[in-house]
Amino acid sequence: MEQLTPLGLIISLFLFFPIATSLPTSGRPRTYIIHMDISAMPGAFSSHHDWYMSTLSSLSSPDGFSPLHLYTYNHVMDGFSAVLSQAHLDQLHELSGHLATYPETFGHLHTTRAPTFLGLKKHSGLWPAGGFGEDMIIGVLDSGIWPESESFNDEGLPPVPTRWRGACETGTEFNASYCNRKLIGARSFSKGMQQEKQNISKTNDYDSPRDFLGHGSHTSSIAAGSSAVAAEYFGYAKGKAIGMAPKARIAMYKVLFFDESYDAAATDVLAGLDQAIEDGVDVLSLSLGFIETPFDENPIAIGAFAALKKGIFVSCSAGNNGPHAYTILNGAPWITTVGAGTIDREFAAHVTFGDGELTVTGKSVYPENLFVSDIPIYFGHGNRSKELCNSLDPKEVAGKYIFCDFDSSGQTNAYAQIYEMDTAGAAGAIFSSSEGPFFRPTDFFKPFVLVNPKYGDLLKHYIINSKNATVSIRFQTTLLGTKPAPQVAYFSSRGPDRKSPWILKPDILAPGVDILAAWVPNRGFAPIDDDDYLLTDYALESGTSMSCPHAAGIATLLKAAHRDWSSAAIRSAMMTTAEVFDNANGRIIDMTTGVAGTPLDFGAGHINPNKAMDPGLVYDIEIQDYINYLCGLNYTSKQIRTITGMRQFNCDSATLDLNYPSFIILLNNTNTTSTTFQRELTNVAEGSSVYRAVVRAPSGMKAVVQPETITFAGKYSKAKFQLTVEIDVGVGSIPESDYFGNYGFLSWYEVNGKHQVTSPIVSAFAP
């Protein structure tokens, strides 16, 4: 495979393509997740596992295939997974202890500068306040880990916390000695994958916790990587790579394996989550997702609820199906859903035309220290197909740089066009184009540069009017402090959530574009010609896969600094202190459109760790509140039991108005509506305080808060308020996107104090 397709292209494909459900061949035994009613277990059994095994052995096998047990789940649900025939399934449904059965599904995967960009400092703020995460344990469900990476060294770390119950497994090219005081656990879960896909690739993966892909090493080091002083990507992003919680411990639960593509079986993901809860992790980071289904059919939603009951914070990637609406994954309200933004760093090449007639700076991460001097440049002027580099004459472009005047339609076929260029024998290319989802120079063999479209006409004018047009390019330049940043990444999935649109998702934005983190050095990564790939210990990757562990690491620091905060309180602190302005003092831009984004793009805003440490007030949520919300969604008792694992609950207080730190109003076939929200705030600052409400609402939105002033007697005291929002977007003001209405903000300002607690208010058209 690697000889045919550059690894960078493979990474881009599974980072950006939507998730698909595997459809097994009709008639053959299939893998199922079986939920059982534990209260129906006969008294003769000493454990639920024994009951499950007895249940399986009681099933007759007229087709000759005996049931095969895969996993027994102890925390994420009451039940097990097994391979069953249709005959077995029919018998199982008749048993009194059977609650529900779901077929196997598959999910896919969705830093030297980021800590500085986020304001993390060694001697002040959240880093020292949270002890750099020293006593905390982050569980990562991903593609495994490369334990030898410098990002996982344990120098200076104290002994492993005594509460840790995990283990380091032995497997292919992995043994227990690879664990240390940083990487304290490593397990592999592949039974579901092996049943459905029949085998784990021996050439493109390891049947062990070792990472072949690189994704798991990358995400783990973002969340909690140790200091790596000399990290770089072929001369770019040089500096000290360090994770968000650099003294936190890492436990890897490998659930992604290669067989034609990198997939995660639902049975394996549930097993990984179950084991992580058993082992005693404090935070879970999942940079993967399953197609959005009702929560009772989603393994991450089910496992995350079980983690919530144990006080474990769960961070998940929002998905990489943007910039389209309704593409959010992992939208359950008990999950913190993280979108991706840029940071203030770019990788560049300086481009000079002729003898200095025109000089521009373009984007490039070509992995060689290369200086191109006075190379002839070609532009297919007058032939639109050649201008777009769609069809090129090898004789015309041989040994020259090609200038490609891509427009939006040209981007959609960028791969085919670039490969045609390679075969045409060109020396390289300069693209006049905005960077799109399938447009990364690192994926291809020639030294490419992307230049801003605003320079396109100047470049064309020079080339067309010069008798001997030439270009000189210096690669390997890293620019810091670039503006505006952050911007919402084009690929980051947008809200509203299809299955739960009454909760605004994503929750938060975090760094997720060109993030430098640990990689696997065992296979080629950066292609420089047809047969030559360069190896690297650190790689630049983009995706909500990268933003998720940023949030997980910051949550780890917050949890360490505030041991008594719930997961909802931690998420609230992140959201109500988030930034909605960039470093150029403008509203955060959507890089797809070049104009200000909305809360459907960036949620509450971009995460600010130091502000989140001291939010003043939080919107807390209890377990019963989530149950009330599920009742409001009209979930059946069986569905709620499947999700929550709780046998005793009631729906007397069913509501769609969860005590969430954001507000979304749905417009159902109308441009006008009115909604009243009930909320409760908890004071998490020392002493008494008074807060005053301020609403910033656009034309077409009217918002009234009652009462306008709330008082807190002391720490942990509570106060309720209601927010009534009236929307009238008007026919003429509906944007072309047809899903966004308008948005404003509610802020609570502390009177004679420093705290400001801000929540977005957004109206959207229901999917």
Annotated catalytic residues are: 142, 215, 545
Q: Which distant-in-sequence residues (6+ apart) come within 8 Å of 176 by Cβ?
A: 167, 168, 169, 170
Cα separation, 532 vs 6, in Å, equals 10
Element (H, E) at 50: helix 48-57
Structure tokens, 321: 């199906």
- The DSSP letter of residue 622 is -
Give the three-state DSSP class for 172. coil
Torsion angle, alpha carbons of 299, 300, 302, 307, to 10: 140
**At residue 10, what is the residue type?**
I
Give the Å distances, CA to CA, from 492 to 9, 363, 546, 602, 651: 18, 20, 11, 9, 35
Per-position b or e across 262-273, b if 16+ CB within 10 A of its CB: bbbbbbbbbbbb
Residue 356 bridge partners (DSSP) = none
Residue 590's DSSP bridge partners are: 488, 595
What is the b/e burial string over 174-201, where b = at least 16 CB atoms within 10 angstroms of the residue's CB?
A: beeebbbbbbbbbbbbbbbbbbbbeebb
Distance CA 130, CA 110 (A): 29
Q: Is the CB of residue 290 less than 8 Å from the CB of residue 266?
A: yes
**CA dist., res. 10 & res. 735, Å (int):** 35
Cross-strand pairs, 252: 140, 186
Burial 84-123 (b: 16+ CB within 10 A, else e): bbebbbebbeeeebbbbbbbbbbbbbbbbbbbbbbebeee
Place of tokens 């990268």: 546
Token code pair at residue 499:
């299955």
> Facing residues of 236 across strands?
233
Q: Are 331 and 310 in contact (CB under 8 A)?
A: no
- Of 17, 189, 224, nearest in space to 109 by CA: 17
Return the beta strands (E) in 577-667 as ranges. 589-590, 595-596, 617-618, 663-667
256, 11 Cβ separation under 8 angstroms: no
Instruction: State the sign of the Cα–Cα–Cα–Cα dihedral 473, 475, 481, 485.
Output: positive
- For residue 465, the tally of other CB atoms under 10 A from its CB is 9
Q: What is the largest CA-CA distance in the chain?
A: 93
Three-state helix/strand/coil letters over 564-614: CCCHHHHHHHHHHCCECECCCCCECEECCCCEECCHHHHCCCECCHHHHCC
Q: Cα–Cα distance between 49 and 38 in angstroms, integer?
A: 11
Instruction: Please compute, for residue 687, the number of CA atoms within 13 A of its CA located in the half-sphere on the CB side.
Output: 5
Q: What burial class does residue 442 get, using C-beta atoms within 10 Å of its C-beta: 0-12 exposed, 13-18 middle, 19+ buried?
A: buried
Helix (H, G, I), strand (E, B) or coil at 133: helix
Distance CA 636, CA 44 (A): 31
Burial of residue 673 (CB within 10 Å: 0-12, 13-18, 19+) is: middle
Residue type, 163: R
Angle in degrees, 0-180, between the axes of helices 215-224 and 544-561, rounded to the nearest 10:
30
DSSP state, residue 433: S
